[in-house]
Structure 1
Amino acid sequence: MISTNLGQEKILFGSSILAGIGALALKQPALLPIAVAMPLYMNQLNLKRSLNDFGLNVGRINEAICQVERQPERPPQMCLQPGQRGSTLICIDGENIFFSAKEKGLEINFPQFFESLCKDAFSVIGPYYYTAIGASKNQQGFLDRIQRLGFEIHAQQIRYYSDKKKNTNIDLLLTTELLAFAEKCHTVVIVSGDSGFAIPAKYAKQMGKRIEVWGFEQNTGLELRNVADRFINLMDVPGLCRKASVRPKKRPFDDKA
């Protein structure tokens, strides 16, 4: 058992080094977040599956890097005053927010959500809505609707294994893109209660970025809240949360279409 753990750690460490060397060799600073993100999430998952899933993510991560390169090199220098946000990156953990709202018997007013997230921003990168997708037409219809509102959908297909477990690396994708795009903004907004995002949030903060965390107070991990320069309880945003007309027993898009 000890040798197996050491072997996994060596692979993870080696992967980080290779990603870092590749970033420097190719003069692609946007690749550096991969070196950070891979060990953070792969060591929490079955290694073989994680390596396979990461391989599938390479194309998506490369696309994110290309998007970063199309953004202005750096945001203009600004001394942010209270209430100012400057250029703002918005990353939404769709799965986390959905289940947190469902637990409370609530649904999100997405037009109001978009308006509230973007308010007082000098410019906006996103908002990016990260989610896992299945085969349901219900879910696709929902994603089409919020896309028309202005949300940019970053989705990954749910992958099923022989032991009937399902997995996506949405957290890895969100983390990688968050760190890549953070170079281009003044404020990073993380809409999630998952404390797993505390580490990339700390990294962005060390880059000099202002961190906002939006989530349901009772469902947001203390570690993530402690990193934030500002925490916004979604229940306190006017017009954002409303009682669900019919509270589903499960996600409406879990059913196969």
Structure 2
Amino acid sequence: MTFTNFTKPRNAYKPLEQESPSSGKIVLKNPAKIDNYHNREPRTSSSTINGLNRGRVAIFIDGVNLFHAALQLGIEIDYLKLLCRLTSGSRLLRAFFYTIVDVTRPTPTRPRANEKQQGFLFWMRRNGYRVVTKEAQLTDTTKKPNLNVEIAVDMITLAPYYDTAILVSGDGALAYAVEAVTSKGGRVEVVSLRPMTSDSLIDVADYFLDLDSIKQEIQKDSHLGYNYRSLSNSQL
């Protein structure tokens, strides 16, 4: 895995629409020209990604969405494995992780509501991720917030500096941001659990990867527990 600076070279990979379907690479989708497009399942073979020159990649992970996807799959995510799998040997510009931070006041049953989460986020910052957070008081009666605006702004703002954006989210509210990036010539791959992914998001992306197809590659080893230290025990 190689980290690079913010100087975007001329895009070296061949336009996807010029590639032959028999070459084993991904062919650019055009929903307007494909009959019964919405009735067919998206391609989910992860092997094609490894053979594609994706240029410089930027990763945008919706942490809340990924957490619920992992629950559905019954796995615990190993975030180092995830980062390596999503990068797949390409040049990594940035890997962003967006999440909500619980600032609910401590109660007798929850004396330290977010101490474990803070330790996890500290670990993420030290292991290749740029963490973006939004504070919220999470209760059973409040509407759960999201970071769609932050994700969309970062995707569009950084678009001149990357060739491929990897969006780990199934939220259809991000479809407009994806379309904005692709309309400028950028490539967008969506990675999420298929039952939790909006069709509108898949329609505007260049490629969709079902998390279920790579869960064996990104899950934490069963014999290993989390080793994220709480901030109170961390040496900053």
TM-score exceeds 0.5? yes
2:81 — aligned with what?
112
- 1:158 corresponds to which of 110, 129, 136: 136
- Amino acid in the other structure paired with 1:76: R
Match of 2:123 in 1: 145
8 Å contact kept, 1:192–1:214: yes
Please report how far the alpha carbon of residue 95 of structure 1 lies from its aligned counterpart in structure 2 after TM superposition. 0.6
Letter in 2 for 1:155: T
Q: Which residue of 1 aligns with 2:227?
A: none
What is the root-mean-square deviation in Å for CA atoms of aligned residues? 2.5
Q: Report the CA distance between 1:182 and its aligned residue.
A: 1.0
- In structure 1, what is the Cα distance between the partners aligned to 2:221 and 2:87? 24
Deviations 1:69-128 (A, max 9, x none): x832x442323474111011111000111012113322212121011111131x222210
* RCO higher in structure (CA 8 A, sep ≥6): 2
Hey, what does 2:6 align to over in structure 1?
A: 71
Answer yes or no: is the 8 Å Cα contact 1:193–1:215 preserved in 2: yes
Matches within 5 A, 1:206-245: 206-237=183-214, 238-241=216-219
Match of 1:98 among 52, 67, 73: 67
Describe the shift of the 1:193–1:244 C-alpha distance in structure 2 as closer, same or farther (beyond 3 A). farther
1:157–1:168 contact (8 Å) kept in structure 2: no
Question: SS where residue 12 of structure 2 aligns?
Answer: coil
Distance in 2 (alpha carbons) for counterparts of 1:194 and 1:107: 21
Q: Is 1:179 matched up with 2:189?
A: no
Aligned to 1:132: 100
Gaps of 5+ in 2: 17-24, 26-51, 104-113, 224-236
Aligned CA distance change for structure 1 residues 218 and 126 (closer, same or farther; 3 Å): same
SS at match of 2:167: strand
CA distance in structure 1 between the aligned counterparts of 2:79 and 2:64, rounded to whole angstroms: 15
The answer to whether the Cα contact below 8 Å between 2:73 and 2:212 also exists between their aligned partners in 1 is no
Rounded to whole Å, the distance in 2 between the matches of 1:176 and 1:165 is 25
Partner SS, residue 54 of structure 2:
coil
8 Å CA contact 1:159–1:167 kept in 2: the answer is: no
Structure 1 unaligned spans of 5+: 1-69, 246-257
Change (3 A) 1:220 1:167: closer
Q: Which amino acid in structure 1 is aligned with residue 130 of structure 2?
A: E
- Residue 147 (structure 1) shift: 2.3
Q: Cα–Cα, structure 1 residues 107 and 169, in superposed 2: closer, same or farther, change >3 Å?
A: closer
**Runs of 4+ displaced beyond 6 Å:** none
Rounded to whole Å, the distance in 2 between the matches of 1:223 and 1:243 is 34
1:205 aligns with 2:168: no
SS at match of 1:107: coil
| SS of residue paired to 1:183 | helix
Bigger fraction of residues in helix:
1
Q: Which residue of 2 aligns with 1:170?
A: 147
Aligned pair count reads 173
Give deviations 1:181-239, integer Å, cap 9, x for gaps: 01211111111011111110011000001110011122111111111211111121242
For residues 74 and 142 of structure 2, the distance between their equivalents in structure 1, rounded to whole angstroms, comes to 27
Give the letter for the 1:92 counterpart. Answer: I
Aligned ranges for residues 23-62 of structure 1 at < 5 Å?
A: none
- Residue 176 to residue 159, structure 1, CA distance change in 2 (3 Å): farther
Percent identity of paired positions between Structure 1 and Structure 2: 25
Q: Mark the CA change 1:169 to 1:215 in structure 2 (over 3 Å): closer, same or farther.
A: closer
